[in-house]
Amino acid sequence: MAKKRTAPPAPATTVTAERAARLYRLLHLFGRAPQTRATLIRRVRLGIRGFYRDLEVLRDVGIAVDLVDGRYHLLENLEEAIDRLPFPDAGLTLGEARVLAKGRSPAHRKLKNLLDTIVN
Q: How confident is the model at residue 91 (pLDDT cuts 50, 70, 90)?
A: confident
Centroid of chain to Cα 62: 8
For residue 77, the 8-state DSSP code is -
Vertex 86: Cα angle to 85 and 88 (nearest 5): 130
Give me the residue spans of the domains in the chain: 17-83, 90-120
Q: What tens digit of pLDDT does each residue of 10-37 get?
A: 545 788 999 999 999 999 999 999 999 9
Written out in words, the top-level CATH class of the domain with range 17-83 is mainly alpha
